[in-house]
Amino acid sequence: MGRIRVLPDAVANQIAAGEVVERPASVIKELLENSLDAGSTSISIEAESGGRRLLRITDNGCGMLRDDAMLAFERHATSKLSSVKDLFSISTLGFRGEALPSIASVSRLTLETHAPEESTGSVVEIHGGKMVRCDEAGLANGTVITVRDLFFNVPARKKFLRSDQTELAHIASLVTHYSLAHPDKTFELRHDNRELLHVTPVATLRERVFQVFGSHILDDLLDIGEHEKEFLLPDPPQGLPDEERTRVFLLRGFVSMPQVQKYNRNSIYLFVNGRLIRDKLLMHAMQAAYHNLMPPGSFPFALLFLDCDAEEVDVNVHPSKTEVRFRHGSWVHDYVRDAIRSSIMQSRPLSSLPMHAPPQPAARLPYSEFSQQMENASIRNVIPPDDVQGVQPADLNLPTFTLNQPQGPAPRFDFTDAPPPTPQPTPATVRTKIPDTHGGLPDGVVLDAVHSLDILKDLRPLGQLHESFILAAGRDGLWIIDQHVAHERILFEQVLRQRAAGHVEQQALLMPMVIQLTAGQQLEYAQIADELRLSGFDSEPFGNRTIAISAAPAAVKPGDIEKILFEILETSERELRGASLDEVRRNVCATIACRAAIKINMRLDQQKMEWLLHELAKCEHPTNCPHGRPIALRYSTRDILKGFHRI
Ligand code: ADP
Ligand code: MG
């Protein structure tokens, strides 16, 4: 007897499940695609415990005939394909006939289905691949599939599952994507009986984007319209008439303007013939479209639908059907790149950016616009690509010198030609002596850490030192302003003002961000949750030691949200035990401002420097950043004169 055996179906199904069913979200993907293929107009999904305990999908599609309900669980049983020829022109989402048997082999699955052609429906129950029940039942038209205890019989796979929140996030993201691809259908997602998504049919993609993401996102998006292009087969079979040589491609959807920058590809949703895919070729085309408009390493938001003749795209590349292969890949690449780029160019992103407009007083700018303005400008032509991520002060590579802060008050200067400073609680300026050991300033020259900045109004920026400090000429001398702390102060006061007025500019998050807390942070969170809400963070407890954040202050980059929250919770925990509400509030605002402020090592143009000084001059306390660091140093005219032995 030979050594080779054909694997029993049960084993083959589990092997297939290994490829098709990676996690609860992959089950949902397969079942959702089946419901869509069945022509459903309303699909509702329930999950419990991140989908491990229960996943249920209910649709109003064509249902299955009784015989089919049994057959569907046979390997390679499908109603969507009947010959090899069909494989090259697949118009349905499914075709491999693998999903149902695979899922049923690693869970306890119940199928309840009723096709209108038959008078009753059927219930089929399969546990770990074994049929345990098959009955007739009175059911509504359509199909309900319930998947319980996923991987109950494959402990090795179960171990790979992440936290409930992570698994839920994957499910939510998937359902969201499909709801975007089908604006004409109802989608509902509930988790542990809480509604996470519920969208009803709308006429346009734009309306669906609004339903899912809200107007905030829509404002930053560009509708690229419909880009239709014909492709003539270069090597048609002999005698093929011209009209049959033509392949039509249609690209539509939304892309973000270049100023919206994401730090990963997670906000790029690509659909090819209605199928959600991850495709390197299209990803590359996207990035090429933004070439020179966006710094390398940052990514746009995109929601793109490419439709083409089924023969032009091979979807049978991977069992989970998330990859495709285009028959004429390089043509498709250039077509997609050019379509997106021309749309972006037509919307004239450069001239519409506020860079060239005269700087506006921030008080009249909403917070989000302001921070966007700062960002836009820096993206455009000021930041060298490598600096995009911003550099923390510790990374700054400056010639080393130390500032000695002498103890006790130092003598005050005579301002001969400047208006007298408004009296401060401690009017003395601290004189800071810089030793000349590094060949910098001549011995004896002093810089003042400035305690009153009302002469800032008259400052004229001369340029930047190390792209970090603004040098400015004033009537009373030369000023050096730390751009990060200056901006931090401006933002801090803005946040506080907005906070006091009760309307902090917010951004809704694409997906609620689920954050896990330590027990200590959990307690702290409970104490400051109200303050967080009033400062622009919409969050709710979400299961044990977890919170879900659905909105954040507009100035905060989405990638920073988690860090900021942890920072706030941590400082609260460490320093603010028993602190007054006011202290907590200031801490929250200071953390937001610090994160949102421009960094050092960032080139600023003249307008931006002027803007910064102008805004700083309007601050109530322009001398120190919220953490207490000085904002400006002054090298007085008197000292300059002295240094040159003119007095
Ligand atoms: P595939 O989708 O590749 O055909 P599946 O294993 O996912 O394979 O499904 C097997 C078959 O079961 C499908 O071809 C379809 O006929 C039927 N089916 C699955 N889900 C549904 C549903 N929700 N409504 C109607 N028919 C369904
Ligand atoms: Mg299927």
- Gap from CA of 93 to ligand 2 centroid (Å): 7
Looking at the CA of 102, name the nearest ligand: 1
Which residue has tokens 């302001």? Answer: 370
Residue-range domains of the chain with CATH? 9-199 (3.30.565.10), 220-234+244-352 (3.30.230.10), 360-385+426-647 (3.30.1540.20)
Tokens of 34: 């089946």
Predicted local confidence at residue 212, as pLDDT? 81
Q: Is the CB–ligand 1 distance for residue 100 below 6 Å?
A: yes
Q: Given this model, what pLDDT does residue 219 score?
A: 76
Q: In this predicted model, which residue has the larger pLDDT, 236 or 146?
A: 146
HEC string of 458-527 equals: HCEEEEEECCCEEEEEECCEEEEEEHHHHHHHHHHHHHHHHHHHCCCCEEEEEEEEEEECCHHHHHHHHH
Quick check: 443 and 637 in contact, CB under 8 A? no
Q: What pLDDT band is residue 397 in, cutting at 50, 70 and 90? A: very low
Question: How many angstroms separate the alpha carbon of residue 31 from the centre of ligand 1?
Answer: 8
* pLDDT on residue 402: 24
pLDDT at site 385 = 25
Judge whether residue 35 has pLDDT over 70: yes
Residue 354: the pLDDT is 29
Q: Which residue has the higher pLDDT, 409 or 17?
A: 17
Give yes or no for residue 205 CB within 6 A of ligand 1: no
Q: Given this model, what pLDDT does residue 462 score?
A: 92
How much distance in Å is there from the Cα of 107 to the middle of ligand 2?
Answer: 17
151: left (phi over 0), alpha (psi -120 to 50) or beta: left
Summary count for the chain: helices (H), strands (E): 20, 24
Write the pLDDT tens digit of every residue in 102-130: 999 999 999 999 999 999 999 999 999 99
Q: What is the mean pLDDT of residues 464-486?
A: 89
CA-to-CA distance for 364 and 361, rounded, in angstroms?
6
Residues 6+ apart with CB under 8 A from 56: 45, 46, 47, 144, 145, 146, 147
Alpha-carbon span 414 to 281, nearest angstrom: 68
Asked if 143 and 111 touch (Cβ cutoff 8 Å), the reply is: yes
Rounded Cα–Cα distance for residues 330 and 182 (Å): 28
- The number of the ligand 1 atom at minimal distance from the alpha carbon of 143 is 23
Whether residue 99 has its Cβ less than 6 Å from ligand 1: yes
Ligand 1 within 6 A of 61 CB?
Answer: yes
Ligand 1 pocket member 63 (CB < 6 A):
yes
pLDDT category of residue 427 using cuts at 50, 70 and 90: very low
Maximum mean pLDDT: which of 60-69, 367-376, 431-440: 60-69
Q: Ligand 1 atom closest to Cα of 101? A: 6
CA 34 to ligand 1: nearest atom? 20
Distance from the CA of 34 to the center of ligand 2, in angstroms? 5
Contacts of 530 (CB under 8 A, 6+ apart): none
Instruction: Look at residue 36 in the predicted model and tell me its pLDDT.
Output: 95
Q: Which of 435, 457, 441, 403 lies closest to 633 in space, CA to CA?
A: 403
Q: Is the CB of 142 under 6 A from ligand 1?
A: no
pLDDT score, position 53: 96
- Contacting residues for 8 by C-beta, under 8 A, at least 6 apart: none
The answer to whether residues 94 and 34 touch, using CB atoms and an 8 Å cutoff, is yes
- Is residue 167's pLDDT more than 80? yes
Query: What distance in angstroms lies between residue 351's CA and the mean position of ligand 2's atoms?
Result: 48
CA of 438 relative to ligand 2 center, distance in Å: 72
Residue 564: strand, helix, or coil: helix
Is there an atom of ligand 1 within 6 Å of 43 CB? no
- Cα(72) to ligand 1 centroid in Å equals 6
Tell me if 374 sits within 8 A of 608, measured CB to CB: yes
Instruction: Identify the H or E element spanning 189.
Output: strand 186-191
Question: Average pLDDT in the 491-513 region?
Answer: 84
Residue predicted with more confidence, 457 or 46: 46
- Confidence class for position 64, pLDDT limits 50, 70, 90: very high
Q: Is 414 within 8 Å of 430 (Cβ atoms)?
A: no
Ligand 2 centre to CA of 96 (Å) is 7
Alpha carbon distance 75, 13 (integer Å): 7
C-alpha torsion angle, residues 616, 216, 269, 388 (rounded to 10): 0
303 CB under 6 A from ligand 1?
A: no
Q: Where are the alpha helices (DSSP H) in 397-518?
A: 483-501
Instruction: Please check the confidence at residue 379 and state whether its pLDDT lies above 60.
Output: no
Q: Is residue 164 within a helix (H) or strand (E), and if so which, with residue range?
A: helix 164-181
Per-residue pLDDT band at 275 (split at 50, 70, 90)? confident
How far away, in angstroms, is 92 Cα from ligand 1 center? 10
Residues ≥6 apart with Cβ < 8 Å to 541: 525, 547
Which of 9, 32, 34, 76, when mutated, tests ligand 1's pocket best, judged by the most ligand atoms within 8 Å of its CB? 34
232-241, 252-261, 276-285, 409-418 — which is least confidently predicted?
409-418
pLDDT at 148: 98
Rounded distance, CA 376 to CA 604, Å? 12
Ligand 1 site, residue 251, Cβ cutoff 6 A: no
Q: What percent of the chain has pLDDT over 70?
A: 76
Atom of ligand 1 nearest to the CA of 57: 23
Q: How confident is the model at residue 364 (pLDDT cuts 50, 70, 90)?
A: very low
Q: What is the pLDDT of residue 357?
A: 30
How many CB atoms within 10 Å of residue 516? 16
Render pLDDT for 318-350 as a digit per residue (tens, 0 to 9). 766 678 899 999 999 999 999 999 998 887 653
pTM higher than the cut 0.75: no
CA of 64 to the centre of ligand 1 (A): 8
The overall average pLDDT reported for the chain is: 76
Whole-number Å distance, alpha carbon 30 to ligand 2 midpoint, is: 5
Rounded to 5 degrees, what are φ and ψ at 10? -60, -40
Q: Which residues, in sequence order, are CB contacts of 630 under 8 Å at separation 6+?
A: 449, 450, 482, 485, 623, 624
pLDDT, tens digit, for every residue of 191-211?
998 888 899 999 999 999 888
DSSP label at 76? T
Dihedral through CA 273, CA 277, CA 278, CA 283, nearest 10? 30
Question: What distance in angstroms lies between residue 538's CA and the mean position of ligand 1's atoms?
Answer: 40
pLDDT at 306 exceeding the cut of 90? yes
Residue 239, pLDDT above cutoff 80? no
Residue in the structure block whose two tokens are 């400047």: 418
Q: Considering every ligand atom shown, identify the ligand nearest to the alpha carbon of residue 143 and give its number.
A: 1
- Nearest ligand for residue 35 CA: 1
Q: How confident is the model at residue 572 (pLDDT cuts 50, 70, 90)?
A: low
CA angle 187, 193, 197 (to 5 degrees): 25
Say how far apart CA 184 and CA 196 lie, in whole Å. 19
Hey, which of 13, 37, 90 would you mutate to test ligand 1's pocket, going by the most ligand atoms within 8 Å of its Cβ? Answer: 37
Compare 160 and 432 and report the one with higher pLDDT: 160
Please tell me if the CB atom of residue 34 comes closer than 6 angstroms to any atom of ligand 1. yes
CA of 68 to the centre of ligand 1 (A): 9
What is residue 519's predicted lDDT score, i.e. its pLDDT?
A: 66
d(CA 528, CA 539): 11
97 phi and psi angles, rounded to 5 deg = 65, 30
Confidence band, pLDDT 50/70/90 cuts, at residue 372 = very low
CA dist 382 and 603 (Å) reads: 6
CA-nearest residue for atom 14, ligand 1, is 78
- The protein residue whose alpha carbon is closest to atom 7 in ligand 1 is 99
Residue with tokens 């345990």: 132
**Whether residue 80 has its Cβ less than 6 Å from ligand 1:** yes
121 touches ligand 1 (CB under 6 Å)? no
78 close to ligand 1 (CB < 6 Angstrom): yes
Q: pLDDT-based confidence at 293, cuts 50/70/90?
A: confident
